[in-house]
Amino acid sequence: MTSRGEQKILKTFFLLIALLLCCCLAQAQDLNARVKILTPKIQVSNKRVFSTLETAMKDFLNGRKWAADAIAPNERISCNFVLNITSWDGGSNFSGELQVQSSRPVYNSSYTSTLLNVNDRDVDFSYTEGQTIDFSDQNFQNNLSSVMAFYAYVIVGLDYDSFSRYGGSQYFAQAQTVVTNAQTASFKGWKAFDSNLNRYWLSENLNNKLYNGLRSFIYDYHRNGLDMMANNAVLARKSISAILPQLTQVDRKRIGSYFPLAFFTAKDDEFVSIFSKAFGPEKAQAMNILLQADPSNGNKYETLK
């Protein structure tokens, strides 16, 4: 039997271990990910499996260390994962579409700027209620964890790119590793021939030097433009106007590429909001450049008239 003194020491020891574990867990959280499962097409009375899946996805995204640097709790990267389940066999096989959105704060304001807003239509996976979602950077283990890890690395990479020129390179390389590991799997979305707008091509574009100009624009736009808005909105907008012509060169590299498309999907409304406050030649020039660079959203840019 142990003495009361020994029991007190043991209790103190286990309390310290628990505190250390909590600290490690807090440090591991780089993302502030919100996860939502939608099931409008699933006609079953008991949908508990979807609640546990939602929790498991949230724990996976928020409980892992994705960035190399220590990220403070108030600096965690905000993102949303909305999984719309389109079919379920009643067992462990699911199919759906995943909407992924991330944003970063703008300096000295309450405004957040969207960095990523994509819809992945090829999300098939197996999941059993209560199952631990495993992932390894070394090999492909299951499709759900690989899809989430891929987007986690892309989210972190874009966030780093917006604060430091080409700062996201190592995370885009890690996203590409996830794609490479998935080449042996039978799931859609990982291979070049599946689609021209899938995870393979998003990774390829982010790692391709052809798109370094767009990545450099992302840095200048956020750090020398948006982050300066609170101090002097007119000068900040002029800084954005000065670099805006760079966007007309991006899609000429390869027409219809995924990265430029994803960029404009995230930024089109923001561009309109910024330049709606401009006057005369500045507004007209911005509209003409945006119409040329992103004709698919021409109706939005036409409102700048």
* β partners of residue 79: 33, 102
Domain membership of residue 30 (yes or no) is no
Buried b (16+ CB within 10 A) or exposed e, 104-134: bbbeeeeeebebbbbebebbbbebeeeeebe
pLDDT tens digits, one per residue of 187-231: 999 999 999 999 999 999 999 999 999 999 999 999 999 999 999
Residue 220 lies in a domain: yes
Domain that holds residue 250: 215-304
Which structure tokens are listed for 174?
A: 């890690």
User: Is residue 243 in some structural domain?
Assistant: yes
User: What's the domain count of the chain?
Assistant: 1
Two tokens, residue 15: 């309390």
Question: Is 254 part of a structural domain of the chain?
Answer: yes
Instruction: Please indicate, yes or no, if residue 17 is contained in any of the structural domains.
Output: no
Question: How confident is the model over 144-157, as pLDDT tens digits?
Answer: 999 999 999 999 99
**Which residue, among 183, 184, 57, 270, has the nearest Cα to 192 in the 3D structure?**
183
Q: Residue 63: which pLDDT band, with cuts at 50, 70 and 90?
A: very high
β partners of residue 121: none
Residue 139 lies in a domain: no
Asked if the model's pLDDT at residue 20 lies above 60, the reply is no
Q: And the tokens for 279? A: 């006057």
In a domain, 268, yes or no: yes
pTM of the model: 0.90
Say if 283 falls within a structural domain. Answer: yes
Residue 254: pLDDT band with limits 50, 70, 90: confident
